[in-house]
Structure 1
């Protein structure tokens, strides 16, 4: 039985130096191989609401399933462990997907202390808007940035979480797709986040479906 072709360019990832200022981060355009992008666009979860949505809430297709399976695999874990100098095999992974961006999204934050490494894989056509471009920040000031990353299809941004791993973007409203993977400290955090996101989505659906009061 033949091995499925890798969707990820781990050689490109390994060859890209880790940046240490203002914190440990890495940006790899073309991390997802171009020949897989069409299928991934087709099979991306049909997320029609803002927020980080746990996988399985919205329908997704086989190509997207294959991407997640590869991201969960030993080769990816080893490559990221070597890059960050951590044994990430000790930690569970959490996955969410974004499909829509609110004007209020992108507020500056360093990520939860329960996260160890954050991985973002963008899945959008070439980005033309000035908003929605994630900035790697030196401080909680959106204009004090070391790098700006357009969320173009196949682009990877990853970083080691710290109390000063500030990031955010200027306001954008509309479709903005991103897969997020986190190595986290324990499975309890994953359960809590999935429960929180699912309940939040349920409440939003109830609110949207409720008849307007006169």
Structure 2
């Protein structure tokens, strides 16, 4: 089964102002979105969670296999004019955000390409809508705003000015982040860091109901 709309990705122009990015709405095919959403893994609170600490199964597992596969990589290589051969991928899953999340940043220098895929059914809030920004100190220097629902895809090339962020929001906000990174040491380090964070949150989640 193909979960992704490669034709929509191909016909979407690559924006180069203020840095290389593209946005594709309904990138997860509408006829498959419900199944992927149903199989979205449970996560223990805010933050980024590695797949090793989650139950990855069903249609969600199929989606991730496709995102990490050769067809999607080739589509990104062609669109961004980049060779990703030999560059490893890593992904994390988010299910919630805190009102302290969303501060403006560029992503770390170890990342080459960032992929964000939004898995919310709908989005009515003003906060939590990721913005592509011209400036690192101005959340209103907006070039584009990403609809964080319905399988919307955002891909950008990490650079010194790849500023992005969003207005505060606290609550459920489903997203997948996948990155091509410089080398395997980045994957090992980052996934280990997220793994221990997730385990700590699982412990807290187990203890708090008992102490309530």
TM-score by length of 1: 0.93
1:184 aligns to 2:164 (yes or no): no
Q: Are 1:109 and 1:167, in contact at CA under 8 Å, matched by a contact in 2?
A: yes
Q: Are 2:53 and 2:198, in contact at CA under 8 Å, matched by a contact in 1?
A: no
Q: Any runs of at least 4 consecutive aligned residues in structure 1 with deviations exceeding 2 A, and if so which?
A: 201-212
Find the aligned partners of 2:105 and 2:156 in 1 and give their Cα distance.
Answer: 13
The residue aligned with 1:34 is 30
Q: Are 1:13 and 1:31, in contact at CA under 8 Å, matched by a contact in 2?
A: yes
Shift of 1:207: 4.7
Find the aligned partners of 1:152 and 1:204 in 2 and give their Cα distance.
Answer: 26
Find the aligned partners of 2:149 and 2:203 in 1 and give their Cα distance.
Answer: 33
How big is the alpha-carbon RMSD for the aligned residues of Structure 1 and Structure 2?
1.4
Find the aligned partners of 2:42 and 2:59 in 1 and give their Cα distance.
Answer: 13
What's the CA shift string for 1:91-133, capped at 9, x where partnerless? 1001111001111110110000000000001000121100000
How many residues align structurally? Answer: 208
Check 1:73–1:207 CA distance in 2 against 1; reply closer, same or farther (3 A cut).
closer
What's the CA shift string for 1:134-192, capped at 9, x where partnerless? 00000111111101112012100010000110000000111100011100000111111
TM-score by length of 2: 0.94
Structure 2 residues not aligned, in runs of 5+: none
Structure 1 residues not aligned, in runs of 5+: none
The residue aligned with 1:175 is 172
Q: Are 2:117 and 2:152, in contact at CA under 8 Å, matched by a contact in 1?
A: yes
